[in-house]
Amino acid sequence: MPDQNAMPDQTAPGTARPAATRAGLAGPLSAVLFTAAGVAGFVLETTARSAGFDDGDNPAQSVALFAVNPTPYSLSGLTLAIAALALLMLVLAVHESVLAAVRPLYARFVTAIGLISAVLLFLGGVIRLQAPGTVTHIAGLDREWGLAAYLAVQMSGTQGALSAAIFAFALWAVGLCVTASRPHTLPLPVLLVGLLPALVLAIPLTALAGRVIGQDTSDVLYPIYLIGIFVGIPLFTLAVGWVPWRRRRAT
């Protein structure tokens, strides 16, 4: 008679694979795609802003740019939307592998923060994708309406959804490092790299505290804030995406 207490063969056809195996390939692939798409979105817009169109906060320049060269801005939105989908997959892969040993409530809470970041990034990307055509159409009806429409895009998309997505990503990174440090599911180098995205949280809060006490330090802290975004987030993404692959190899 077959042993009823024997474990099922995980390699047999039709059986479920372990979580570490399922997430092993999704982790690094989604991390690389997220980083590449995010960099592409930044490069597409900045290279399109030549002399006379280089101030993204100037509605007159941006509306004029949309009239002559709207494609890079829309493509930057498309790449950010792709990055959001990659981040969504990465957050779920990390949940299945890295957070498997964490208490379920904490694991779900940290994962939810990461999913919020992905949703906000997707929203910001879609706003950018649609903005040039819509703003140009409104500006054709009335120039002042067009300027107001671009300001709405800038505040709701770049300063709203995208800034919130970055802030939520930093919260996810910090929460992930804190919750995964006790069961030692994240290697020490990854925990140290997680300090860089933490700058995205620490610098604005420090600047806010400085303004409250009458000491404006934003000019000094802003370059450090940019380091947290353009260096810390890509490095942490690639580092944490490598962890499910490492756990898969171990499995």
Each residue's pLDDT tens digit, 44-67: 988 877 767 778 888 999 999 998
- Domain ranges across the chain: 26-176
d(CA 106, CA 177): 12
Q: What per-residue confidence (pLDDT) applies to 55?
A: 81
At residue 18, the pLDDT reads: 55
On whether the CB atoms of residues 40 and 120 are closer than 8 A, the answer is no
How many residues belong to the chain? Answer: 251
The pLDDT value recorded for residue 162 is 95
Separation of alpha carbons 28 and 22, rounded Å: 12
Across 200-223, average pLDDT: 80
Q: How many angstroms separate the CA atoms of 42 and 229, rounded?
A: 12
Residue 214: which pLDDT band, with cuts at 50, 70 and 90? confident
The 3-state secondary structure of 27-68 reads HHHHHHHHHHHHHHHHHHHHHHCCCCCCCCCCHHHHHHHHHH
Q: Which of 18-32, 78-92, 151-165 comes out lowest in average pLDDT? A: 18-32
Place of tokens 């934003």: 218
What pLDDT score was predicted for residue 48? Answer: 77
Residue 3: CA count within 13 A, CB half-sphere: 5
DSSP for 152-205, written as a single string: HHIIIIIIIIIHHHHHHHHHHHHHHHHHHHTTT-S-HHHHHHTHHHHHHHHHHH
pTM of the entire predicted model: 0.86
Helix (H, G, I), strand (E, B) or coil at 72: helix
Distance CA 121, CA 38 (A): 10
Q: How far apart are the first and last CA of the chain?
A: 30
pLDDT at 211: 75
Q: 81 near 162, Cβ under 8 Å? A: no
Structure tokens, 218: 């934003």
